[in-house]
Amino acid sequence: NPAYNTQEGLNTLTASSSGGGGREVYLIDNNIKTPYSDQFSIGMRNMVPLWGQDWFTDVTLSRIESHDGFAFVRGNRLPDGSFFQPGTTSGSPTDGPDGYSAIVLGTNGVETRNNQLALQVEKPFDEESGWGLTVAYTYSDAKENRQFGEHYALDRERIEDYGWREAGGIPKNRLVVTGIYELPYEIKLSGKLSLASQTARYGQNCLAGNDQCYIVQFKPDGTLGYKEFSIAANKEWDTGAGVKFNVRADILNVFNWVNYANFNGETGTLGDLNTAYGTPTGVLASPMRTFRLAFGLNW
């Protein structure tokens, strides 16, 4: 409605509201941009004869920059137009027009960048040798100006106020090893090992007081942030009528390793410390040991 492009038109919204102070006002920038990414990659692939087998090696260097990511920021302000009370660094304003509470503004501003090195060695499976192996390692140097996966940024006045930090969704080091081996009776046994270093976690340091909080990052104790080893066995029968029947058994997370998804990120205040800071909340990032049996038809 073009009327809402004017102050008078917006005033009609508040004038017509009654009660319901929990309602929110969402406004989207008329000049919103489409998010985009630029990627630059260079790589080399070779075939190397080794131990009587053909191995393939891959080396890739890449740079990815993402711009104009979408986020919601808080539009509420104090009567003097400021965001925080004088002398404070936290405590977002909540006063809104009569009948409403939060004002939420949709805008651009989220950016990420990642420098990545990917190495892979692969010996493809073939019927003659009866086995295959792949080893893949990735190193990532990733940065972001807003927490990974968080589209609401309501604790600061602008996206720019969050600053650049280590990306919270990408481990610096990741190793994936997969293998397949053909057993007697044409049963194929496969396995996958996934290892990753700890990722940066976001939290709040409020030791100086609840109105003096600021964003911090930490990494949980331990070298590995994720580890999982799973195996599978698959047997296929050809009926001879263009239809194949198979049975597959999987054991996920064979060693029952625990991978936590979330950690306590609030320090508490000096007078009320959070002794659980930096410890897992109990939410898991992967299932515990699981057995799965599947049947399939292919035609």
Asked whether the predicted pLDDT for residue 6 surpasses 80, the reply is yes
The string of pLDDT tens digits covering residues 12-68 is: 776 665 555 568 889 999 999 999 999 999 999 999 999 889 999 999 999 999 999
Q: Is 189 a domain residue?
A: yes
- What pLDDT, on a 0 to 100 scale, did the predictor assign at position 83? 95
Output the domain CATH number for residue 182: 2.40.170.20
Give the distance, in angstroms, between the CA of residue 86 and the centroid of all CA atoms in the same chain: 35
Of all residues in the chain, the percent with pLDDT exceeding 70 is 97
The string of pLDDT tens digits covering residues 249-265 is: 999 999 999 999 999 99
Burial class (CB in 10 A: 0-12, 13-18, 19+), 206: buried
- 107: how many CB neighbours lie within 10 A of its CB? 20
- What pLDDT, on a 0 to 100 scale, did the predictor assign at position 21? 58
Its domain, for residue 242, covers 34-69+110-298
Q: Is 77 a domain residue?
A: no
Q: Is 238 a domain residue?
A: yes
Report whether 254 contacts 231 (CB < 8 A): yes
Q: Is 140 a domain residue?
A: yes
- What pLDDT, on a 0 to 100 scale, did the predictor assign at position 109? 96
- What pLDDT, on a 0 to 100 scale, did the predictor assign at position 11? 78
| Predicted model pTM | 0.86
Rounded to 5 degrees, what are φ and ψ at 111? -135, 150
Token representation of residue 142: 């990733």
Asked whether the predicted pLDDT for residue 90 surpasses 90, the reply is yes
Q: Count up the domains in the chain and report the number.
A: 1
Strand partners, 201: 218
Average pLDDT of the segment spanning 155-172: 95
- What pLDDT, on a 0 to 100 scale, did the predictor assign at position 20? 53
Compare 97 and 285 and report the one with higher pLDDT: 285
- What pLDDT, on a 0 to 100 scale, did the predictor assign at position 203? 96
Average pLDDT of the segment spanning 183-197: 97
Q: Is 257 a domain residue?
A: yes
- Cα–Cα distances (Å) from 81 to 4, 32, 75, 165, in that order, read 22, 24, 10, 28
Q: Is 16 a domain residue?
A: no
The string of pLDDT tens digits covering residues 106-147 is: 999 999 999 999 999 999 999 999 999 999 999 999 999 999
Q: CA gyration radius for the chain?
A: 27
What CA–CA distance (Å, rounded) separates 10 from 217?
Answer: 40
Q: Is 1 a domain residue?
A: no
Q: For residues 142, 143, 144 and 145, what is the CA-based torsion angle, rounded to 10 degrees?
A: 180
- What pLDDT, on a 0 to 100 scale, did the predictor assign at position 14? 65
Asked whether the predicted pLDDT for residue 215 surpasses 90, the reply is yes
Nearest one of 240, 192, 238, 197 to 219, comparing CA atoms:
197
- What pLDDT, on a 0 to 100 scale, did the predictor assign at position 266? 96
What CA–CA distance (Å, rounded) separates 62 from 223?
Answer: 25
Q: Is 2 a domain residue?
A: no
Question: Among 9-13, 72-76, 115-119, 171-175, where is mean pLDDT lowest?
Answer: 9-13
User: DSSP labels for 246-273?
Assistant: EEEEEEESTT----BS-B--B-EETTEE
Across all residues in the chain, what is the average pLDDT? 93
- What pLDDT, on a 0 to 100 scale, did the predictor assign at position 23? 82
Report whether 98 contacts 17 (CB < 8 A): yes
